[in-house]
Structure 1
């Protein structure tokens, strides 16, 4: 009986991973098409390639944690966000630290995937607008479950209180903002961002 149950659970996990791989590859392909549509002669597409790379790395991290997770079709928020934060710090300029603090909350893989996109785009934006001149800085990523069963993600940097420039709607930079909004809408989350006394902050609230 235990063997049959183990085999059944293994099959369920494999099916979920196959489904997740398919969806993730479709997501990456869709992102490539979106950026391709904005490609023009003389336009620097470095940001586009960086965004695609972040999406692939986040997808790989999700698959790795899903494979090792004892949860069914879910991962632990602290492990997942911690992994994403480490990937982002590894690719950040020297002197930029990415800190993570999150609770051990089980979240569906679809929610984790969307959160990874939002967090990655926030960090990329901070690096570009707050720390692009080589100055050291810190970025914090915090995640916690709410008493009523919801989820909240907070991202903040200390890159200065100056207002961040708004990218042109049709530009490559502007797509990052649209992708964040679309990812939040995908999981029914409310996204807010704006300047603080020392930098910039974003909050993502997901109701129960």
Structure 2
């Protein structure tokens, strides 16, 4: 054999060995099984993990290191995968060489040769730390939910006590103006609590349909004020989604504006209409309009006084919390327009 032929033969032998070397040096545990599910190959990473010789792992010997509680589940997944000749993924605990049980994620894919099913090849990665981190996060979230629920319960109870106290003081007030102011404050606390209660029942990172929430808020406000002859006319665009943190101040704004309209826009028992409009005037922009067909704002109603409208002083602050612009018009009736960014 000439030197050139010898070099070519050695190169061919190295090329044939290269796939096996790649499998052994792969940073994941790799196995192969025939159609009968008996394992015919495990790579060096698998052997390093278990600390056992290849002879002990081949065939069905690897099952000896499988956690007893996971064996039935693994057996079922394997049977279904091999029967259907479809990929499958399963996690289970495998005993490491030091005796520790470690969670691994096993991903298996079918092998075919000339269109004939010849078994499966699988790869496993250790996911123990990831599972522990997720479990710790779930535990922390559960504890946080318990604390938030307790806080919400206490705040709600305190708000109810405050409402009762204000109502009691209103019944004892000698001045009609002071009594009206106290009853108004009691209603304001109660309505704000209703809004917060609905929002609390929604996950913090969830998106809510703003139109549905604002309609419920407006109707609750009218029901509490209980002024006969005042109707709610709402027209909201569906599917305008918003995070709870931004939707809450907008709902509180609607609450204040509707209560203000019901109390001040229709004096002497006159009826009228409060209109709620929600739409997208442009992509990424939401517009909220609350208007009435009443008498408009009088000068006394612009002041923060027992006769005035405290709500109109709260609305600009709530608008800033919602990152919304506010325009208030009060000629023929009162019209409040808010614009804000939305998805």
The normalised TM-score by structure 1 is 0.72
Q: 1:200 to 1:96 in 2, by over 3 A?
A: same
Distance (whole Å) between structure 1 residues aligned to residue 273 and residue 327 of structure 2? 20
SS at the partner of 2:303? coil
> Which residue in the other structure is 1:145 paired with?
280
CA distance in 1 between counterparts of 2:263 and 2:192 reads 17
> Paired residue for 1:101?
235
Q: CA RMSD in A?
A: 3.7
Give 1:174 deviation, angstroms.
4.7
Alignment of 1:82-161 (within 5 A): 82-91=215-224, 92-103=226-237, 104-161=239-296
Distance 2:219 2:296 in 1: 25
Q: Rg bigger for which structure?
A: 2
Spell out, residue by residue over 1:141-193, the C-alpha distance to the aligned partner (whole angstroms, 9 max, x if none).
11123423122110110113564634434658453222211111112211111
Q: 1:18 to 1:144 in 2, by over 3 A?
A: farther
Change (3 A) 1:129 1:175: closer
| TM-aligned CA distance change 1:72 to 1:90, over 3 Å | same
- Is 1:205 matched with 2:339? yes
How is 1:70-85 mapped onto 2 (pairs within 5 angstroms)?
A: 72-85=205-218
Q: How does 1:8-27 map to 2 (within 5 A)?
A: 19=148, 22=151, 25=155
Q: Count residues in correspondence.
A: 190
Query: Residue 233 of structure 2 contacts residue 274 of structure 2 at CA under 8 Å; is this kept in 1?
Result: yes
The unaligned stretches of length 5 or more in structure 1 are: none
**Rounded Cα–Cα distance in structure 2 between residues aligned with 1:191 and 1:16:** 34
Higher relative contact order (CA 8 A, sep 6+): 1
Secondary structure at the counterpart of residue 143 of structure 1: strand
1:94–1:136 CA contact under 8 A, matched in 2:
yes
Higher strand share: 2
Match of 1:187 among 319, 322, 327: 322
TM-score for the superposition, normalised by structure 2:
0.46
- Residue-by-residue CA offset, 1:93-125 (whole Å, 9 max, x unaligned): 111111222122111111221011111111111
Aligned match of 1:52: 189
Runs of at least 5 residues in structure 2 that lack an aligned partner in the other structure: 1-89, 91-130
In the alignment, is the contact (CA less than 8 A) between 1:74 and 1:108 conserved in 2?
yes
Q: Cα distance, 1:13 vs. partner? A: 9.7
